[in-house]
Amino acid sequence: MIKIGMMLGDRYEILEKIGTGGMSDVYKAKDHKLNRPVAVKVLKQEFSENANFVSKFRAEAQAAAGMMHPNIVNVYDVGEEGGTQYIVMELVEGITLKKYIEKKSRLSVKEATSIAIQVSMGIEAAHNNHIIHRDIKPQNIMISKDGKVKVTDFGIAKAVSSNTITSNVMGSVHYTSPEQARGGYSDEKSDIYSLGITFFEMLTGRVPFNGETTVAIAIKHIQEPMPSPRNYVGDVPISVEQIVLKCTQKSPDRRYQNMQELIDDLKRSLMTPDIDFVKLGDPDEEATTRTISEDELDEVKNRVRVREEYEDEYSVRVNKDASERSRGERTSSKKSRSSSGSGNKGKNKNGSQSKKKGSGKRPDYIDDKRNQKGSSSSKNNKISNKGDRITTIMAVIAAIIIGLVIIAIVGRAFGIFDFNKSKGEGDTVAVTDITNAVSQDTGAITESQVAVPEVIGMSYAEAVATLNKEGLEVEKAEVASDTVTKGNVVDQVPAAGVVIERNSTVILSVSTGASASKVHVPNLIGLDPMDATALLIENGLQAGAIEETTNPDENLTGKICYQSYTENSAVDAGTIIDMKLSIGVGTVTYSYIGNIESPAVEDGDYSSGTEATVILTTTEGVELKRETTSNFPVSMNISGIADSSSGIVSIIYKVTIPGSTTTDENGNVIDIPSIMEERAITRTVDFTKE
């Protein structure tokens, strides 16, 4: 059980609870090792006790931890404490995009497009690391206090969807792709569909498909035409409308094929929103909408009904009371329809009594004609069951074939099989000499040896996990690459298939991306924060901190009034540009709290207890305080200091010059009396902005 003040992993101190969700609680914590605030997501008990889920959850979270991007809530660590599973993440102070939309009703086209660009860049980074989110929605997108957009929960949705019945199904189904609704294969283009729905909601303040049940909403994603955001907001530009519609095509092949294509169109739309440049495929019935088949309806119904009506030891039942009420209403409705019929009184077309087992539990989204099918429905179920058996048999056959292929490949790599030719006595094999690293024994591999796996092209985190699993250590070397995605492996030494001793080191060359090129900083002065951020992204730069300040120009109130690099400065691509936001005309005030030490720090002639005058002034010469004292240090606490961020401390004091004797030219002894000499020292101090 997590308690405030406890330590996790001898490193993370729990400070306060800041949120809760269907599967976890989130706490603010302090990382004592790196001295920074973090967020710790702690799995709830029912999930932590599911070993299968925990295994997949940790694997997905560890993969996500290999990503670092400014538009992703980065995962720092994954751990376990006393049976409790937790993830350590970047702490983002702000609100979810969902709450932001609710707060503003709907977003302006510019703001929505700017947010979509940043979300797309975060998703692109994940896709480049072979991670698909599978649950893109406004609830999983954060808007920080300084205007940065960050996507959270990467990799976690996969573990959840494959192992548990989640309590947030109703929230996610509004953004699910048609292929996910059918329960089919989902890939990068599923994330693009969900982002399109999210973009639609930012523009209109509503989701495109709604319904009383999750099944009803899922079916709409599959077969109903996607409405245009212009149906609800007439001033949505043509390019923005087309981007939304292309993202949300029913067929994945008609959507954007990757995030870069989408980002390019979003950036162009930001600059020229009224130009119709988005390329959509020629519409046809398959690409736009089609009637869902009986089998597909059964599949969708069964998938969602299982989610809503059944609960095992690892799952959360969804809307139990509502489901009970809904079943009661449907029973009542059926009785009403039966009594008002043409004398059949609950009988089907054949006149037989309709007492099909479980018919009282059928959802109300299935029409009356389907409820009356009786034997026809039973026939469909038999066909469906037969199809399931065939599918299972085919899957087993495919698994056997894949297994044989893998055995053949591994056997060939280890020298067990040779499919090229039979070696005669005169045949020779050239073996590359890799000193101190590689065993060149061409015989059988011993238990202390291993064939190096192929990791080129993998993300660094995935490659490390693959090599560590085989008992190999990793040394990282960074190289620039114009062809390999940043963070992925460019080369490995030893090469794949070479047999080496376990615990040996494999050197991985990891891409740092293309060689940095210079870009010019745009003028941000006078722009609102979102427009400034979008312009920086457009120019290949990153938005840094946005600090609030006052500015004498009232026209800049609510606008950017300062940028850390001047306009047209040539900087490396990706440079972070900090900005200041004017909060209005006003005087900036400062304060000074400090202790003034004795002059003896600088002057050894000063005697403790000697009276001195301490004067504090601004650097512009305005006197703030004067005090005469013989006791040091002198404490000062001054606030409301205007128009100056630093000051000068002057200390005026006297020292006694001891008397002495000397002899004049005639040999007479002359006494020189002691004297008091006035001296002064100065020190510079910094003030604190109030």
Active site residues: 135
User: Which of 467, 429, 431, 432 has the alpha carbon at shortest distance from 450?
Assistant: 467
User: Which of 277, 276, 270, 274 has the alpha carbon at shortest distance from 115?
Assistant: 270
Measuring CA to CA, how many Å separate 94 from each of 18, 91, 116, 212, 543?
11, 9, 17, 31, 16
Q: Is 273 helix (H, G, I), strand (E, B) or coil?
A: coil
The answer to whether the CB of 579 falls within 8 A of the CB of 566 is: no
> What tokens does 122 get?
């975060």
Q: Is 307 helix (H, G, I), strand (E, B) or coil?
A: helix
Measuring CA to CA, how many Å separate 342 from each of 338, 339, 368?
9, 8, 15
Report helix angle 529-538 to 109-128, nearest 10. 40
Using only C-alpha atoms, the chain has a radius of gyration, in whole angstroms, of 36
Instruction: Identify the helix (H) or strand (E) that includes residue 380.
Output: helix 375-413
Please state the three-class secondary structure of 399-410 as a single string. Answer: HHHHHHHHHHHH
Residue type at position 291? T
Instruction: Identify the helix (H) or strand (E) that includes residue 162.
Output: helix 156-163
The phi, psi pair for 660, rounded to 5°, reads -155, 175
Rounded CA-CA distance 454/439 in Å is 17
Helical residues (DSSP H) of 71-155, grouped into ranges: 97-104, 109-128
Rounded CA-CA distance 432/140 in Å is 51
The phi, psi pair for 608, rounded to 5°, reads -55, 135
Rounded CA-CA distance 119/72 in Å is 8
Q: Is 462 helix (H, G, I), strand (E, B) or coil?
A: helix
Report helix angle 109-128 to 259-271, nearest 10. 160
Q: Which pairs with CB-CB distance under 8 Å and at least 24 residues apart come from 335-342?
A: 337/368
| DSSP letter, residue 198 | H
Measuring CA to CA, how many Å separate 312 from each of 46, 54, 672?
10, 16, 103
Helical residues (DSSP H) of 187-319, grouped into ranges: 188-204, 214-223, 238-247, 259-271, 285-288, 294-309
Rounded CA-CA distance 294/305 in Å is 16
Number of Cβ within a 10 Å radius of residue 374: 18
| DSSP letter, residue 454 | P
Residues paired with 161 in a beta bridge = none
Pairing of strands 576-582, 542-549: parallel
Locus of tokens 């005309």: 585
Residues in the chain: 690
